Amino acid sequence: QVQLVESGGGLVQAGGSLRLSCAASGRTFSTKAMGWFRQAPGKEREFVATIAWSGGGTYYADSSKGRFTIFRDTAKNTVPLQMNILKPEDTAVYYCAQSTRVLSTSPRDFDYWGQGTQVTVSS
């Protein structure tokens, strides 16, 4: 129903910044929430941040608070994730996802996923 494409990943030094972007197309009108998740090698996929499609309320993982910002660019139909003060432990593949049902922090509540973009933070 919806197609999601992440971009903006790359290599940065610790303390640096990156802005990821999730471009959404298709049936975006069915969106209840958009979220960003990440998965490092050997680890489970974990929640990073989410935004309600109606109203724009946001929620962040504890590890994201004060460093990451999720928002909605209505004009471009994208959901950026601004990441500041990056740490080596932020290294992971970052995925954007859409929930058609609820605002949630669980990957299980999200229905559609992008292909992921690699973020690598060097020390």
List pLDDT tens digits, range 46-56: 999 999 998 88
The pLDDT, as a whole number, for residue 28 is 84
Phi-psi region of 29 (alpha: psi -120 to 50; beta: other; left: phi over 0): alpha
The pLDDT, as a whole number, for residue 27 is 82
72: which 2 tokens? 């909605």
Segments in the chain below pLDDT 70: none
The pLDDT, as a whole number, for residue 55 is 85
